[in-house]
């Protein structure tokens, strides 16, 4: 299980390192952001929703999902954008120049996001036998795909705030290491959890995914070229849908 958590962590750090080496364009980042958003929405709709409904009541699922959505919404409103990739279009040059002053708040907000990612990976792995492997593998893919633009955006914003590449990579590594922390917490506390509690945790994570997906796509569609965003978003959504269907057919 922890191998997948470490893989997600490595992808994010790799994205941060690439931001120091490559001259990425905003259009490419928009495509990656939208692809990641599509995979997150896909795993929430095609994997988490139907599987959790087999173990929890609809009202319990809705409440748990609302807590995940609300947590990310509150953090983004009162602390900082919970995901630099999803909020990339909100940062202009003026904001970036003053970014070092608010770096602590940004890293705190993103750390909570990453911890939820790790917890979701642990929960999906523990739920593999009761919920099916489609949820397990689709969750892993969705989070890993989302981690690449997350690392790229975080690294790019820190570089724009005049952090040296070496320090930027260290900061990205420190923030993204909370993904591992979430995985460890999940491994200890969800090890012997019932299908009901695993469903509650996964529904909570799914609510957060819905927030991230909507925030990313709506922000990019409103400000940039719609075609790139929509094609990338529905590509990610379709990939996860096809993956879940394939695992169900095999099952």
pLDDT computed for residue 135 by the predictor: 78
pLDDT band for 89, please (50, 70, 90 cuts).
low
Mean pLDDT of 153-165: 76
Does a structural domain hold residue 159? yes
How many angstroms separate the CA atoms of 119 and 122, rounded? Answer: 5
Asked whether residue 22 is domain-assigned, the answer is no
Average pLDDT over residues 105-130: 84
Note the pLDDT tens digit of each residue in 45-81: 998 999 899 889 999 999 999 999 999 999 988 887 7
- Position 69 scores a pLDDT of 96
pLDDT tens digit sequence for 162-216: 778 888 889 889 999 999 999 999 999 888 888 899 999 999 999 999 998 888 7
- Domain of 203? 29-250
Cβ proximity of 211 and 72 under 8 Å = yes
The answer to whether 135 and 124 have CB atoms below 8 angstroms apart is yes
Please indicate, yes or no, if residue 1 is contained in any of the structural domains.
Answer: no
pLDDT at 131: 67
Q: What is the 3-state secondary structure (H, E, C) of the chain?
A: CHHHHHHHHHHHHHHHHHHHHCCCCHHHHHHHHHHHHHHHHHHHHHHHHHHHCCCCCHHHHHHHHHHHHHHHHHHHHHCCCCCCCCCHHHCCHHHHHCHHHHHHHHHHHHHHHHHHHHHHHHHHHHCHHHHCHHHHHHHHHHHHHHHHHHHHHHHHHHHHCCCCHHHHHHHHHHHHCHHHHHHHHHHHHCCCCCHHHHHHHHHHHHHHHHHHHHHHHHHHHHHCCHHHHHHHHHHHHHHHHHHHHHHHHHC
Note whether residue 21 is domain-resident: no
Question: How confident is the model over 135-164, as a mean pLDDT?
Answer: 82
Q: Is residue 38 a part of any domain in this protein?
A: yes
Q: Pick 211 or 149 by higher pLDDT.
A: 211
pLDDT value of position 129: 61
Instruction: Look at residue 45 and tell me if it is in a domain.
Output: yes
Contact between 103 and 161 under an 8 Å Cβ cutoff? The reply is yes
| Number of domains making up the chain | 1
The answer to whether residue 148 is domain-embedded is: yes
pLDDT higher than 90, residue 133? no
Is the pLDDT reported for residue 106 higher than 60? yes
The pLDDT value given to residue 105: 73
Give the pLDDT confidence score for residue 245 in this predicted structure. Answer: 82
């Amino acid at each position: 299980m922890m191998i997948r958590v470490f893989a997600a962590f490595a992808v994010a750090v790799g994205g941060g390192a690439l931001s120091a080496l490559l001259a990425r364009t905003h259009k490419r980042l928009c495509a990656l952001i939208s692809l990641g958003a599509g995979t997150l929405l896909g795993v929430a709709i095609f994997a988490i929703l139907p599987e959790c409904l087999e173990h929890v009541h609809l009202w319990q699922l809705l409440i748990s999902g609302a807590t995940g959505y609300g947590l990310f919404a509150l953090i983004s409103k009162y602390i900082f954008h919970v995901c630099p990739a999803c909020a990339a279009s909100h940062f202009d040059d003026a904001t970036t120049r003053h970014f070092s002053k608010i770096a602590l708040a940004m890293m705190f907000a993103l750390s909570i996001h990453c911890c939820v990612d790790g917890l979701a990976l642990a929960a999906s792995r523990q739920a593999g036998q009761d919920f099916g492997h489609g949820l397990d593998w689709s969750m892993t893919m969705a989070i890993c795909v989302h981690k690449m633009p997350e690392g790229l955006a975080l690294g790019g914003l820190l570089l724009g705030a005049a952090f040296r590449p070496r320090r930027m990579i260290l900061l990205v590594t420190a923030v993204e290491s909370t993904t591992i922390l979430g995985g460890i917490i999940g491994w200890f506390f969800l090890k012997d959890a019932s299908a009901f509690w695993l469903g509650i945790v996964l529904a909570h994570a799914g609510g957060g995914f819905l927030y991230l997906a909507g925030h990313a796509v709506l922000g990019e569609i409103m400000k940039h070229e719609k075609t790139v965003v929509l094609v990338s978003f529905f590509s990610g959504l379709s990939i996860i849908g096809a993956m879940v269907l394939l695992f169900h057919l095999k099952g």
